[in-house]
Structure 1
Amino acid sequence: MAARTDEIAPGATSLAAAGLPPLVLEAKDALALVGSNALSVASASLAHRRTALVAARADLVAALTLEAIGANLSPLGATVLAARPHPGQQVSGRRIREVLADGDLAQGVRPTASLQDPISVRTVPQVHGALLDQLDDLERLLDVELSCAPDNPFLDVDTGAFISNGNFSITGIAVAFDALRIGLAHVAQLAERRVAILVRQLRQGVPLVGQVQHVTSATGYVTPLILAQTASALVAQVKHSATPISLSGTTVGDGIEDHASLAYPSIRLTEVALDHVERLFAVEALLAVTVIAVQTRTRPCRLAGPVQRLRQAIVDVTRRSQTTAEVVDWVVEALRREQRGDDLAEMRAPVTPPPVSWFDRDVARHDQLH
């Protein structure tokens, strides 16, 4: 007899009702089902890929802002960055130079606005590069984890001995993702400070009514001050998530399981931080496009090709929006689509559903009956 959907039934009964044969486990299958390492390593690999995409997006959005404010581009030069040859900052600087290469600002046709810009502008390759170096270290760690045998007990094939061990511990992944969120937080801090620079340009000497009128033509009724407050809230959440979670475990299992890496919670918290960072980049890009729109009315100039494409993509999507939240969401998607040269979809692990408690079942059953 088929089990009712509102009752708990043995697994065999439920499988039979669904017409599914029971799974026959083979060697190591049971351990994989009850252990969390496979889930953690797989989720870590997806989160690593997504972070790499977001890091590339960070360079693209920063380049958009540099173009908008007429930044001094000399700190991005290959020679000056090579004087401190960390691999990450070389990559970040090169990507930004490539984005800006064919515009009037990079060609020297448009004068720079100042001799020395704020730190959030002139240290972009260094701060973004630190995150890229972290990603390189994490990739090497994941290469090992994806190719190893973390079994306990371990079977020594040569001697036939089973050896009790601790290779199941993935503390390295937990610590790496705790550190990765700190790197993301520094990138977010720079973005929020650049947002403040853009807002200052839009608000300088312009009353609130004028600000609304300026922005309406470019982005659809989003005032700079509202976006600045949004950026402040987002960066606060990213910084809060940077607190290490891998040190928060407790002893379980009567003192035998007396250490847990908490790798999976660390990975999931990183996914949340990435969501906030992407929305922060959308706010920065939205304001940068608005600054460019205001400036080009009086001082037309030739924008770099990638900047112009991104600007047009943002203007197109904001015309379809009805609320500030929709504007930001559409810009997030526009930034993802504009990330050329990458044929992979946005990488992220599926959200794990929360466990269903007896209380939840009782409430659901009560609602069905009444």
Structure 2
Amino acid sequence: MTTSKKTFFFGEDHLTAGLALAITRGTIQGKVSEKTRKKIRASHEVVAHIVEMGKPVYGINTGFGPLCTTKISKTETKILQTNILQSHSVGVGKPIENEIAKLMLVLKAHSLAQGYSGIAEATLDRIIWHIDNDAIPIVPSQGSVGASGDLAPLSHLFLPLIGLGKIKYIKKVISTAQLHRIYGLEPLELGPKEGLALINGTQFIAAHAVMVIDKMHACLTHADIIGAMMIEGLQGSVKPFFKELHNLRPFKGNSHVAARIRFLLEDSEIMEDHIDCERVQDPYSLRCIPQVHGASRNAWLHLKELLEIELNSVTDNPIIIGKVLTISGGSFHGQPLAMALDYACLAASELGNISDRRIYLALEGNSPGVPKLLMKDTGINSGYMILQYTTAALASENKGLCFPASADSIPTSLGQEDHVSMGSISGRKALQVLENVEKILAIELLTAAQAFEFRKPMKSGVLLDEVHRTIRKKVAFAVRDRVFSEDIDKGIEMIKECTIINTVQKTMTRNNLKMESPFEMEFEEY
């Protein structure tokens, strides 16, 4: 994701997944303008007016969930907000990654800054302070059902505002009390509705969705590049990628992938070498790359579209529209993202599934010039045989993770919250699947590079030749068995660090190459 912006104004600018990551990673700073501060103050004053007048409004002067009919006195409204953070901090399991917790802070700051939540300026400023100083709360990964917001994880996220909980700071986990002593800070005293505004919302689900968008985008691009290299290694046909074919079934993702493969195979001596061969058509794992990778890309585009709406929405409850209108609704319900994340999870799994099939195809030895198990001297050597066992295990694990979490609902809150999204599980599973897909693609990278080597001294196009050189700087051609896990680790590193994508981008720039389609090889904005 590339951007020239240096400052993002919470509650005012349009937030995307890429911008959220840029703020989280410190390349863009999030701020609040005076115009936005006026809206926040006005909303906060409405809440104060409601408390003063005594008219029952959910979560401001009533209890929560099944206690929504319990009236809370004016003097107890502040205690109520502190209590809700403590009572709802019931998360379990390993803490989420620091970057995801920081993303949650960024997303919540943007939602609150829109001026419909009734929080105080000081509360928003403290959240932004945590972002700016990289003092990130420890948030357990389990406990949200994805309706009424991500109550448990958001409660843990904001315990530090009232002086409780733990913080990851300078690579160490410390208590909030220790952090406050370092900086001379005092816990905040939350006003009416503030606790509820903090813990209602979909920021746990949305933060995971941001990471899914980022990680899946890289996997999609890697899959296209590695798939093209495997086509070269196994001397597949370029015809299934002709635009004349895809113009007759113009799904956006399919056309994109086909254009990329054509571009990567352009000016290839390897392609020219077998243009008149007797083989009629390739197996599906080569021939149907546009249809399979393209369908996964369509799922990515769908999640991206829905996520962008969510990132710029107000998802807490009740919503303060104005002095005469507050609405207790269901904007905290995670179903819109939960279903899209389950779809993306399935789409990511399919990237790994077809990649495993291409690896198996490469080992069969049915492509002229490429030996069985990708090694000439087999028998005493097993070659690349067992690497496919690993991808089979990972692909199978992913299939088990594809059951949609959003298909389930268990009533909570004594039936007050009788349908929930389970979107938090959708997000966590999708990231788990993508982690496995990265490993599968890393192994395909190694096998594709090995098959590609047997085409020498013929050359591919400039892009794939440069990709192959980059791989060989990290992993040598295998002439006999060795500890392949070390190669796999280097492959995973190349995938995670986007080494291959960066190589293609730099080579395109160096050679002044442009694609024939409107799609560019580099990262699209997201």
TM-score with structure 2 setting the length: 0.56
Where is the helix percentage greater, Structure 1 or Structure 2? Answer: 1
Q: Tell me the secondary structure at the aligned position of residue 406 of structure 2.
A: coil
Q: What is aligned with 2:463?
A: 306
Q: Give the counterpart of 1:135 among 300, 311, 316.
A: 300
In 2, distance between residues paired with 1:134 and 1:105? 33
Q: What is aligned with 2:378?
A: 211
Q: Does 1:52 find its partner at 2:217?
A: yes
Q: CA deviation at 1:313?
A: 2.0
CA RMSD of aligned residues (A): 3.1
Q: CA deviation at 1:206?
A: 7.9
In 2, distance between residues paired with 1:279 and 1:250? 34
Q: Tell me the secondary structure at the aligned position of residue 420 of structure 2.
A: coil
The answer as to whether partners of 1:156 and 1:162 remain within 8 angstroms in 2 is: yes
Q: What is aligned with 1:164?
A: 328
Q: CA deviation at 1:204?
A: 5.4
Distance 1:17 1:291, change over 3 A: closer
In 1, distance between residues paired with 2:453 and 2:216? 30
In 1, distance between residues paired with 2:437 and 2:307? 23
Q: Tell me the secondary structure at the aligned position of residue 211 of structure 1.
A: coil
Q: CA deviation at 1:293?
A: 2.1
Distance 1:91 1:112, change over 3 A: farther
The answer as to whether partners of 1:59 and 1:96 remain within 8 angstroms in 2 is: yes
Distance 1:32 1:227, change over 3 A: farther
Distance 1:95 1:152, change over 3 A: same
The answer as to whether partners of 2:163 and 2:187 remain within 8 angstroms in 1 is: no
Q: Does 1:111 find its partner at 2:270?
A: no
Distance 1:212 1:329, change over 3 A: farther
Structure 1 residues without counterparts, runs of 5 or longer: 1-9, 214-220, 348-370
Q: Tell me the secondary structure at the aligned position of residue 405 of structure 2.
A: coil
Q: What is aligned with 1:353?
A: none
Q: What is aligned with 2:347?
A: 183
Q: CA deviation at 1:294?
A: 3.2
Distance 1:98 1:17, change over 3 A: closer
Q: CA deviation at 1:93?
A: 0.7
In 2, distance between residues paired with 1:280 and 1:182? 15
The answer as to whether partners of 2:220 and 2:293 remain within 8 angstroms in 1 is: yes
The answer as to whether partners of 1:72 and 1:112 remain within 8 angstroms in 2 is: no
Distance 1:85 1:15, change over 3 A: closer
Q: Tell me the secondary structure at the aligned position of residue 236 of structure 1.
A: helix
Q: CA deviation at 1:46?
A: 2.3
Q: Give the counterpart of 1:93 among 245, 258, 261.
A: 258
Q: CA deviation at 1:330?
A: 0.7
Q: What is aligned with 1:325?
A: 485
In 1, distance between residues paired with 2:484 and 2:306? 40
Q: CA deviation at 1:249?
A: 3.8
Q: Does 1:277 find its partner at 2:277?
A: no
Q: Tell me the secondary structure at the aligned position of residue 156 of structure 1.
A: strand
TM-score with structure 1 setting the length: 0.78
Q: Give the counterpart of 2:499 among 319, 325, 337.
A: 337
Q: What is aligned with 1:76?
A: 241
In 2, distance between residues paired with 1:222 and 1:170? 49
In 1, distance between residues paired with 2:206 and 2:297? 20
Structure 1: which 4+ aligned runs deviate by more than 4 Å? 10-18, 25-29, 202-209, 319-322
Counterpart residue type for residue 259 of structure 2: R
Structure 2 residues without counterparts, runs of 5 or longer: 1-161, 166-174, 506-520
Q: Give the counterpart of 1:40 among 191, 202, 205.
A: 205
Distance 1:145 1:191, change over 3 A: same
In 2, distance between residues paired with 1:310 and 1:184? 23
Q: Give the counterpart of 1:22 among 186, 202, 206.
A: 186
In 2, distance between residues paired with 1:317 and 1:26? 57
- Identity across matched positions, percent: 24
Distance 1:295 1:100, change over 3 A: closer
Q: CA deviation at 1:21?
A: 1.8
The answer as to whether partners of 2:270 and 2:455 remain within 8 angstroms in 1 is: no
Structure number with the bigger relative contact order (C-alpha 8 A, sep ≥ 6) is 1
Q: Tell me the secondary structure at the aligned position of residue 388 of structure 2.
A: helix
